[in-house]
Chains A and B, each alone.
Chain A
Amino acid sequence: DAGVTQSPTHLIKTRGQQVTLRCSPKSGHDTVSWYQQALGQGPQFIFQYYEEEERQRGNFPDRFSGHQFPNYSSELNVNALLLGDSALYLCASSLAGLQGYTEAFFGQGTRLTVV
């Protein structure tokens, strides 16, 4: 059973460019969350997708947008890249349920470097 997979693993972009990161959730999971982890910091929540809708959003500008597809996979798009967007971008998948939180599994991340 494949876990959470993210692509690409590494990416170098120039300031002002746009980037799309991809995530395939663990089999059977329907909820995808994205996190940004800067060097030396804990992951910071960007947003969460469930049933193809953004359900919750962290404190990130509109340059960060996303999408969830019918097969539950997800994309994170970042426009007008800034040097400060350089970070490890993590995708986490989980299974929504009425009984509250269920364990989230993380992908290996995409390391984005903006130059």
Chain B
Amino acid sequence: RKEVEQDPGPFNVPEGATVAFNCTYSNSASQSFFWYRQDCRKEPKLLMSVYSSGNEDGRFTAQLNRASQYISLLIRDSKLSDSATYLCVVNTPLGYGGSQGNLIFGKGTKLSVKP
């Protein structure tokens, strides 16, 4: 089983649609969770961190369910500029001070928003 699994996609949606991305992770020791956005041939950029209480940033809402080891991202009122690959990312610390652990990325789900 892969450490981080995402919907395979691609998702092709019209402008204004609501789209949901789902992700599961296998390591119950994981402590930090993120959604990154990656545009074609560019580096990944942090979209938002994900917390158990859920968090919202404008049209974007992220949820974490630790019991189910499940992460979601909801995009409302999709814009053409939302077209990108969305990466589900998990961090598991090494357990000693000063360590950053490493980021485990899902394969990514490509979103295309059409006019």
Contact = CB atoms under 8 A, between A and B. Distances in A.
A103 B35 CA distance: 12
Interface string A65-89: 0000000000000000000000010
Chain B interface size, as a band, is 20 to 34
Given A44-B105, A94-B100, A96-B99, A101 B32 contact: yes
Given A56-B101, A96-B99, A101 B106 contact: no
Interface of A: 31, 33, 35, 40-45, 48, 50, 55-56, 58, 88, 90, 92, 94, 96-98, 100-104, 106-109, 111
Given A90-B43, A101-B91, A55 B107 contact: no
A104 B93 CA distance: 14
Contacts, number: 67
Interface string B79-115: 0000000010001011001111111111110000000
B59 interface: no
B16 interface: no
B92 to A, nearest CB: 9
Interface of B: 4, 31-32, 41-46, 87, 91, 93-94, 97-108
Contact of B108 (A33, A42, A101): A42
15 contacts: A31-B100, A42-B107, A44-B105, A45-B102, A50-B99, A58-B102, A88-B41, A94-B100, A98-B97, A100-B31, A100-B93, A101-B100, A103-B46, A106-B43, A106-B45
B103 A104 contact: yes
B75 to A, nearest CB: 19
Contacts of A108: 42-43
Contacts of A97: 98
Contacts of A102: 100
A57 B46 CA distance: 23
A56 B99 contact: yes
A90 to B, nearest CB: 6
Contact of A33 (B41, B97, B102): B102
